[in-house]
A and B are shown apart, each in its own frame.
Chain A
Amino acid sequence: MSAEATPGTRARVSSGAAEAWTAASRFAVVALMLLVIFVVFSVTQADFLTSSNIQNLLSSVSILFVISIGMTFVVLTGGIDLSVGSLLALSGLVLSKLFNGVGLPIVLAVLVTIAAGALIGGFVNGVLIGRVGLSFFVVTLGTLSLYRGIVNIWSGTKTTYINSSLMNDIGFRHVLGLPVPIWIMIVVYLVAFVVLRWTYFGRDVYAVGGNIEAARLSGINVPRTLMLVYAIAGLAAAIGGIVQAARLGASSPLVGDSTPLDAAAAVLLGGTSFLGGVGGVTGTAAAVLFIGTLQNGLSIAGVSSFWQQVVTGAILIVAISIDRIQRDPGRFRRVVAGGGHGPTSTSEPDGEET
């Protein structure tokens, strides 16, 4: 209890600056590092800070971006969805089957594909995890393999071209000076932000992740909330699958293998706790842009793709460490001094960290 508070203090109703800062500080490090590498590449690489390169950079991360935003909802409830990569490939295949096989108009095929992604996510992962109560890890590991197998059987492991002007527009057309994938990123981010911040559903997501038992006892519909977050992850995977197909001009059974872990890394780097209940999409957005900028800059600098992997991995670890140190400076000193699990001095009384 605040010692300054006189008995029966009326709590101040306004002034949320401190709280806003606390929330922002969860991704402050990654945002800062994004700024640093952006400046470094801009200074050292002449080809980096050009309008075409920045557009190229953003377009190339757009798929991971959209899927990571969807993944953030799942992680906020304390889960993870490992099946998003397989669902991404499956969505591309569904689109090509609807368009090339069934002969649906492309607009309809796109809409049906997006709906299918949401339904598959919500009714397979969502029902098994939210209603049946199975472990999210086992369920999504199972559907990862299940969907990938279906994709390989159904496609005959062949790539199918999708010849459509609309798909070409989705992948490459400029609207108001920006390529469509960038607009998709912006819209997905804004919608996700509004849903999490300004709806009761968004609160439910945090409540379920923060304390599932308290949420249930408070009358929150926990099964439905979980079904919806896996539906959102499926929806995001389908949108990602469509952008992917649009940029390839084809549906490929090979895409999305590393997507679940890349997305999980971005969500974690963006400050969302893997225990659930803490974080948000702004941090995820900053983290995806950080990873994309890093890879783009290294490519321009002529670093080979194998060395890019090494550098990306190392920088991810460094970024997470810096983040942890700035949240709890004392811990770092103790770890270096050989303390290991030393005393914590976080400002949260029940402070757990991921």
Chain B
Amino acid sequence: MTDSLLLEAEGLYKRYGGVRALSGASLAVRAGEVHALVGENGSGKSTLLKIISGLLRPDAGSISLAGEHVDFRSPTDALRHGIATVTQETTLAPDLSVAENVFLGHRMARRAGVIDWGATRRTALTALRRLGLELDPSLPVRRLRTDQRQMVEIARALSMDARVLILDEPTSSLTEDEVDSLFRAVRALREQGVATIFVSHRLKEVYELADHITVLRDGETVGSGPANAIDRSKLIQLMVGRDLVEALPSAAADTGNPAALRVRGLSLDGALDDVDLDVAPGEIVGLAGLLGAGRSELLEALFGLRRPGAGTIEVHGEEARLRSPRDAIRCGLALVPADRKLQGLVLRMTVRENLVMAATSSTARVLPPRTSTELPLVSGAIESMQIRAQSPRAAVGTLSGGNQQKVVLGKWLATKPRVLMLDEPTRGVDVGAKAEIYRLLFDAAEAGVAILVSSSENPELLTLCDRVVVLFRGRISATLARDEATEARIAHFAGGHA
């Protein structure tokens, strides 16, 4: 590691309409350093990264690269200066080969005016090896795992001589093994003098990987220093601006009551095999398992999105025939989907319209929406969930991720569900909002709602759940009560060990 500053951003300001996204943010990155950028949702991380990568221009402030003042006009311009971004959504062409994707957007090797495929593949192979990845460059990207796809994106950035690599939540869709291989690649780049700016909500990863940490809050840089000089509680305090109550109350399981949700022999072609499951009123049951173990499929079948091949579903003792989400809602079921932007919200519509969307879905359509019935619901939700919005008439897309997630949760709580199902309820949500969402779930359980939570983050399940049901290849491989569940045991059963 050298001491020379490679990238320096100072006094950045940016407003969106009436909302201040950045007010005096700064960032200083050295060559060959892994620099973690942390902060709650809405703290301005995304805006800061977008400015550095040329996607947005700041209202005020300056950026210099290796001591020289720069003003990026576009992402292409930033790339030309050696700043490359790998985003959460991969931007690869799935049907093109690895080699073609590495060279996407710039010239492949040519000979006599036509593409020299041999040289192209060799160059791609070299770029991948720099990341410690052995991969056939002629494979179509469609056949790669998520982490391998990210590596291809990183390789693409490197092949354009990137000096600064921006990784925006690179681990959010990776399994633990995949995270390890990504981290090995990032460390390899550190040795080669490439600076990496890395955003993650998982503090464990921040400490595992980062040399230096910069903390943003409300659009300002509130702290920056070597990773070993900022401990975990100090970091959380910087992010949230107050001390967070780490110990959360545990819900009292009321297992004496009959099941609110009772599933018997549920099978779904190729996804689920003879699943039995009970959730009592007031109980929080977790669904654990690897990607593809059948967690999402189970929730979808329970919400009328998939037709099971066999099995019965009962809600409070009555058999539920679920052909559509409408049927499920009528039976008192609710599903907070995994992807709030694609499945949870209509981003262009207002906070109010989104909050009442499910609760009013069976009202006669010729009727006018009645402010007198909707407003108490809406202001009640905004108040109890502490949704930070300029007004209930603000488009929900202008809210930060954590607040958007609260709107999705509020939308389903407004239907007064008897069974609340959640798929990855805190994905991409910061620690502060996470704690608030947990509190809301405990409150709902207290009020007698049966809750079924699917999550790939085992600590989350351990915090929330009275019982954890582990799935492996569509079958239940274990049911662990609160006092017997540990991360190691969940991982053990999720791996298919008996």
Residues of A within 8 A of B (CB): 1-5, 7-13, 15-16, 18-19, 198-201, 203-204, 206-207, 210-211, 213-221, 277-278, 330, 334, 337, 339-345, 347-350
- CB closest chain-B residue, reference A1: B42
B-side contacts of A5, CB under 8 Å = 388, 390
Subset of 19 A-B contacts with CB under 8 Å: A3-B19, A3-B23, A3-B218, A9-B388, A11-B392, A12-B391, A13-B391, A15-B391, A203-B353, A203-B357, A211-B345, A214-B343, A217-B303, A217-B335, A218-B358, A220-B361, A334-B73, A343-B74, A343-B75
Q: How far is the CA of A8 from the CA of B385 in the complex (A)?
A: 9
A-side contacts of B388, CB under 8 Å = 1-2, 5, 7-9
A-side contacts of B375, CB under 8 Å = 13
Q: How far is the CA of A16 from the CA of B350 in the complex (A)?
A: 12
A-side contacts of B16, CB under 8 Å = 347, 349
Contact present for A218 and B361 (CB under 8 Å): yes
Q: How far is the CA of A290 from the CA of B63 in the complex (A)?
A: 46
A4-B20, A342-B74, A343-B75 known; A219+B325 contact, CB < 8 A: yes
A2-B19, A198-B369, A343-B54 known; A207+B349 contact, CB < 8 A: yes
B-side contacts of A204, CB under 8 Å = 365
Q: How far is the CA of A10 from the CA of B397 in the complex (A)?
A: 19
Out of A11, A216, A341, name the residue touching B390 (CB < 8 Å): A11
A-side contacts of B351, CB under 8 Å = 11
Q: DSSP majority for the B interface? A: loop
Out of A13, A199, A201, A219, name the residue touching B362 (CB < 8 Å): A219
Q: How far is the CA of A347 from the CA of B342 in the complex (A)?
A: 20
Nearest Cβ in chain A — how far from B403, in angstroms? 7
Contact present for A214 and B368 (CB under 8 Å): no
Out of A2, A198, A278, A343, name the residue touching B55 (CB < 8 Å): A343
Is B434's beta carbon under 8 Å from chain A? no
Known: A199-B368, A206-B346, A207-B357. 12 other contacts (CB 8 A): A1-B19, A3-B23, A8-B388, A19-B394, A199-B366, A199-B369, A206-B353, A207-B346, A211-B345, A215-B357, A344-B55, A349-B397
Contact present for B20 and A2 (CB under 8 Å): yes
Contact present for B391 and A11 (CB under 8 Å): yes
Out of A2, A8, A337, name the residue touching B386 (CB < 8 Å): A8
Contact present for A210 and B347 (CB under 8 Å): yes
Nearest Cβ in chain B — how far from A273, in angstroms? 9
Contact present for A219 and B379 (CB under 8 Å): no
Contact mask B358-396 → A, CB, 8 Å, 1/0? 101111111111000001000100110011111111110
- CB closest chain-A residue, reference B399: A1
**Contact residues of B between 394 and 424, Cβ < 8 Å to A:** 394-395, 397-400, 403, 411
Q: How far is the CA of A7 from the CA of B403 in the complex (A)?
A: 12
Q: How far is the CA of A341 from the CA of B76 in the complex (A)?
A: 9
- CB closest chain-B residue, reference A337: B73
Is B427's beta carbon under 8 Å from chain A? no
Q: How far is the CA of A217 from the CA of B300 in the complex (A)?
A: 10
Is B429's beta carbon under 8 Å from chain A? no
Contact present for B73 and A343 (CB under 8 Å): yes
Q: How far is the CA of A221 from the CA of B327 in the complex (A)?
A: 11
Out of B56, B361, B393, name the residue touching A219 (CB < 8 Å): B361
A219-B326, A334-B73 known; A7+B386 contact, CB < 8 A: yes
Is B337's beta carbon under 8 Å from chain A? yes
Q: How far is the CA of A348 from the CA of B397 in the complex (A)?
A: 8
Nearest Cβ in chain B — how far from A210, in angstroms? 4
Contact present for B365 and A211 (CB under 8 Å): no
Q: How far is the CA of A4 from the CA of B17 in the complex (A)?
A: 13
Is B219's beta carbon under 8 Å from chain A? yes
A11-B392, A213-B342, A213-B343 known; A200+B219 contact, CB < 8 A: no
Contact present for A220 and B390 (CB under 8 Å): no
Is B475's beta carbon under 8 Å from chain A? no
A-side contacts of B379, CB under 8 Å = 10-11, 13
A-side contacts of B397, CB under 8 Å = 348-350
Q: How far is the CA of A263 from the CA of B400 in the complex (A)?
A: 38
A-side contacts of B390, CB under 8 Å = 2, 5, 11-12
Is B149's beta carbon under 8 Å from chain A? no
B-side contacts of A10, CB under 8 Å = 379, 382-383
Contact present for B395 and A348 (CB under 8 Å): yes
B-side contacts of A350, CB under 8 Å = 341, 347, 397
A-side contacts of B18, CB under 8 Å = 2, 18
Nearest Cβ in chain A — how far from B440, in angstroms? 14
A-side contacts of B305, CB under 8 Å = 217
Nearest Cβ in chain A — how far from B347, in angstroms? 5
Is B348's beta carbon under 8 Å from chain A? yes
Contact present for B73 and A277 (CB under 8 Å): no
**Contact residues of B between 1 and 39, Cβ < 8 Å to A:** 16-20, 23
Q: How far is the CA of A2 from the CA of B335 in the complex (A)?
A: 29
- CB closest chain-A residue, reference B330: A219
B-side contacts of A8, CB under 8 Å = 386, 388
Contact present for B73 and A342 (CB under 8 Å): yes
Is B329's beta carbon under 8 Å from chain A? yes
A-side contacts of B326, CB under 8 Å = 219, 221
- CB closest chain-B residue, reference A201: B365
A-side contacts of B342, CB under 8 Å = 211, 213-214
Is B163's beta carbon under 8 Å from chain A? no
Contact present for B74 and A214 (CB under 8 Å): no
Q: How far is the CA of A101 from the CA of B324 in the complex (A)?
A: 46
Q: How far is the CA of A334 from the CA of B403 in the complex (A)?
A: 33
Is B82's beta carbon under 8 Å from chain A? no
B-side contacts of A215, CB under 8 Å = 346, 357
Is B262's beta carbon under 8 Å from chain A? no
Nearest Cβ in chain A — how far from B374, in angstroms? 11
Q: How far is the CA of A18 from the CA of B344 in the complex (A)?
A: 26
Is B156's beta carbon under 8 Å from chain A? no
B-side contacts of A213, CB under 8 Å = 342-343
Q: How far is the CA of A216 from the CA of B304 in the complex (A)?
A: 11
Nearest Cβ in chain B — how far from A109, in angstroms? 27
B-side contacts of A15, CB under 8 Å = 391
Contact present for A218 and B74 (CB under 8 Å): no
Nearest Cβ in chain B — how far from A195, in angstroms? 9
Contact mask B55-80 → A, CB, 8 Å, 1/0? 11100000000000000111100000
Out of A211, A337, A349, name the residue touching B398 (CB < 8 Å): A349
- CB closest chain-A residue, reference B240: A7
